[in-house]
Structure 1
Amino acid sequence: MPFETDLARALDRTTDSLEPDLTTLLRGAVERGRSRRRRRVAGVIAGAGACAVIAAAGLVTPGMLGSHLGGSDKEMTPLAAPRAAITDTQMIQALEGTFPGGRFSQETGQSIDPANPSRGLVANSELVLDDGQGAAFVSVSAVRLRLPLRDGDGLSCDQTPPRAAGDTCTLRELPSSAEIPGGALVMSERTVAKHSGNLDAAYRWTMTVTMKATGAQLQMVQWNSTGGGTDGEVPKPTRAAPPLSEQQAVAVLTGATWAPIIAALG
């Protein structure tokens, strides 16, 4: 069911730093990122019961799926339709192109099409990467935020409740250039996976790049394990660092590999 799938992804993109507590999700209009290990958390949030409660609360409508940063009580960030269709194949190929020479498995993607907005407003691709340094789960989601930009997913490090010990967030701006007309906002997060009884913690690195002139936004999530999840479900780390550093992730998301996706968004 496309709408339910998109709803799960849009909510999960904003639920990475909280436990999957439905009361908290509703009070904060969901917990993002744009994923924070989307596959298992999305499975929880996407259940029929959760969808029914959220719909009843009037938090989300098909024309206004929103992202919400880390459980903040600020207003949800509304999404806009992309200017052109983006296929799941395009998303997967762009993600593969991000890691030339890598070996890939468990690849999935999701399309968006402005001619059929009922199918959702979030494009996504995810895979498990083997680059010779240890397997890592990586995903990229693509949305277009409505202008003018305001505090929301990928636009502010403010969070309620505060981030847990060991979690970090920085926000900076990229100046306008030929590659980035109007400049961009870059939010970089590192989150310690919360799983009880396991001292060998996995980490999630989230890089969100938002184009200030158009609202086009890409969010990359990297794990130093083969996937994310909730307490007790996060696989043990397979490597010490993410496949890409912060500088490398920003360079690739604003470079030629993802330029067609950004253009299609806005």
Structure 2
Amino acid sequence: MPFEADLAQALDRTTDSLDPDLTALLDGAVERGRRRRRRRTAGIVAGAGACAAIAAAGLVLPGVLAGTGSGGAGIETVALAMPRSAVSGTQMIHALEATFPGGRYSQVTGQGNNPSDPSAGYVANAGLVVDDGHGAARVGVSAVRLKLPLADGDGLSCERTPARAEGDTCALSELPSSAALPGGAVVMSERTAAERPAGAGTAHRWTVTVTVKSTGAQVQLTQWNSLGGGTGADVPEPTRTAPPLSEEQAVAALTGATWAPVLGAVG
């Protein structure tokens, strides 16, 4: 159900200490937020598989997804805004396939948002396995609208609790204002190992998040150098050394003509 999918989104956007199911990650874009700065502000746990906890807390806030950091050490509140217009699952799938032209696609999934019904979904997403001739790789994408003004975290900050594992990387950059990116955009690029410590046969995940400053529209692309699925040692071994798209190619794709309609609809 779309509401349950968004509950899954809530937990995975706000819990660094838990390793998400990677299939759900790509189907539901659960990686959107494993990258936030923890703030010690008031909040309540919300998330997938935690309906009982939400009921016990008595908190269901449309547009506000709250969660705790590792071991309750920090609490943050992440605010989402309802998309301006609908994006269908089919639209997300077609845009994702167009991001990897010439590949063979399998295990294709997609989900749209529904601005007319807050309980039916804030997040549009798609996922698939692409084989571009250099090894099959699981990829996924999600689109959401953040409430303004933008705050630290949620694709806007490389700080996180707990500290990143050795070898993991994160970098922030900015893009200038343009017709496609009014007011400019923040780009966060990450490389994360599936296991800690990472070994020679460890799969990695590459994530690029683009957030439009003036609208809060955010699109995130996640690529694995494996078939993904599972967590930690359960993640399939690498099928290739690098992701299908380089960081530069991913940024160009997300800010180009293919994803412009989605960014416009979301923000």
> When the two structures are superposed, what TM-score results if normalisation uses the length of structure 2?
0.84
One of 23, 30, 33 as aligned partner of 2:31 = 33
Name the SS for the 1:104 alignment partner: strand
Q: How far has the Cα of 1:107 moved from its partner?
A: 0.5
Residue 19 of structure 1: how far off its partner (Å): 3.3
Say whether 1:194 aligns with 2:192.
Answer: no
Instruction: Give the 5 Å matches for 1:88-167.
Output: 88-167=89-168
**Letter paired with 1:172:** S
In the other structure, the counterpart of 2:39 is none
Q: Which amino acid aligns with 1:99?
A: F
In structure 2, list runs of 5 or more residues that go unmatched: 21-29, 35-46
Distance 1:190 1:99, change over 3 A: same
CA-based RMSD of the aligned residues comes to 2.5
CA shift, 1:12, in A, is 2.4
Query: Aligned-pair distance for 1:195?
Result: 6.5
**Given the two structures, how large is their TM-score scaled by the length of structure 1?**
0.84
Q: Matched residues, percent identical? A: 65
Q: Which runs of 5+ in 1 are unaligned?
A: 22-31, 37-44
Alpha-carbon spacing, 1:136–1:166, altered in 2? closer, same or farther (3 Å): same
Is 1:196–1:231's contact at 8 Å kept on the other side of the alignment?
no
CA distance in 1, matches of 2:168, 2:102: 31
Cα distance in 2 for partners of 1:227, 1:197 equals: 16
SS in structure 2 of the partner of residue 139 of structure 1: strand
By how many angstroms is 1:76 displaced? 2.0
CA contact (8 A) 2:166 2:197 kept: no
Look up the match of 1:29.
none
Cα distance, 1:220–1:189 mapped onto 2, change above 3 Å: same
Q: SS at the partner of 1:33?
A: helix
Aligned residues of 1:195 and 1:234 also touching (Cα < 8 A): no
Report how far residue 18 of structure 1 moved.
3.5
**Contact in 2 for aligned 1:195/1:232 (Cα 8 Å):** no
Supply the distance in 1 between the matched residues of 2:214 and 2:67 (Cα, whole angstroms).
Answer: 19
5-14 or 220-229, which deviates more: 5-14
CA contact (8 A) 1:69 1:159 kept: no
CA 132–35 in structure 1, closer or farther in 2 if over 3 Å, else same: farther
For these two proteins, the number of residue pairs brought into alignment is 245
